[in-house]
């Protein structure tokens, strides 16, 4: 147990059976009345952001969340298997927890997984990844100067929009948060 005086950015609180990550906090001492702490919290599982105010000195329950880097090994049905590179322990993460990150994960890629009491809460990928285009329509002569885009399928099976001049086999940088094309990678 902790008090509201211990709240810091990144602290994980256990409120009403849910885990909440503190995004912002502010200790307020008005001229009249008791002090309080104003916070902005994000629900770890749903991503919902709420504002919550606590009276100063109130006892709150904090949760320990262990964030570690894991290497993606393979997909097992709906689940994903990761390995801790320090002790080679393998963990299975449900597909629902992985979510859209599946579109950007290749085997042996590193990801940060937040664990709480033995279960995976969420998965974080690097801000961008390099993927190879496995299929796209061929570009036509004269498509180089216009700002148009066309669909392209990358090696994970995900479809992104790329400039018209890119061809199958080109490596591209993709934003893992939005799925946007960020640029061509020259090797």
What pLDDT, in 10s, does the model give residues 32-43?
888 899 999 988
DSSP classification of residue 147: -
Q: Which two tokens stand for residue 112?
A: 């940060």
CATH placement of domain 66-124: 2.40.50.140
Per-residue pLDDT of 106-139, as tens digits, reads 898 999 998 888 888 888 888 899 999 999 888 6
- Write down the pLDDT at residue 154: 93
Share of the chain above pLDDT 70, in %: 95
| Contact indicator for 145, 134 with CB cutoff of 8 Å | no
Per-residue pLDDT of 70-83, as tens digits, reads 999 999 999 999 99
Task: Let me know if domain 128-184 sits in CATH 3.40.50.2020.
Answer: no
d(CA 115, CA 155) in angstroms, rounded, equals: 29
Domains 66-124 and 128-184 share a fold: yes
Does pLDDT of 143 surpass 60?
no
Tell me the pLDDT band of 141, cut-offs 50, 70 and 90: low
Domain ranges of the chain: 2-62, 66-124, 128-184
Count CB atoms within 10 A of the CB of residue 26: 11
In CATH, the architecture of 2-62 is Roll (2.30)
Torsion of Cα atoms, 4 then 9 then 13 then 18, to 10°: 140
């Amino acid at each position: 147990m902790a008090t509201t005086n211990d709240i810091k950015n990144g602290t994980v609180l256990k409120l009403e059976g849910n885990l909440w990550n503190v995004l912002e906090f502010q200790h307020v001492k008005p001229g009249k009345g008791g002090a309080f702490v104003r916070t902005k919290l994000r629900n770890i599982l749903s991503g919902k952001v709420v504002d919550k105010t606590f009276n100063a000195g109130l006892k709150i329950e904090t949760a320990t969340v262990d964030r570690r880097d894991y290497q993606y090994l393979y997909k097992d049905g709906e689940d994903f298997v990761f390995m801790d590179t320090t002790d080679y322990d393998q963990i299975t993460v449900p597909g629902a927890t992985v979510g859209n990150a599946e579109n950007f994960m290749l085997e042996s890629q590193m990801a940060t997984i937040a664990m709480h009491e033995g279960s995976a809460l969420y998965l974080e990928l690097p801000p961008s990844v390099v993927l190879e285009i496995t299929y796209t329509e061929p570009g036509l002569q004269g498509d180089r100067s216009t700002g148009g885009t066309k669909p392209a399928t990358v090696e994970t099976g995900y479809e992104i929009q790329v400039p018209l001049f890119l061809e199958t086999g080109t490596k591209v940088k993709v934003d893992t948060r939005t799925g946007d094309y960020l640029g061509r990678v020259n090797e």
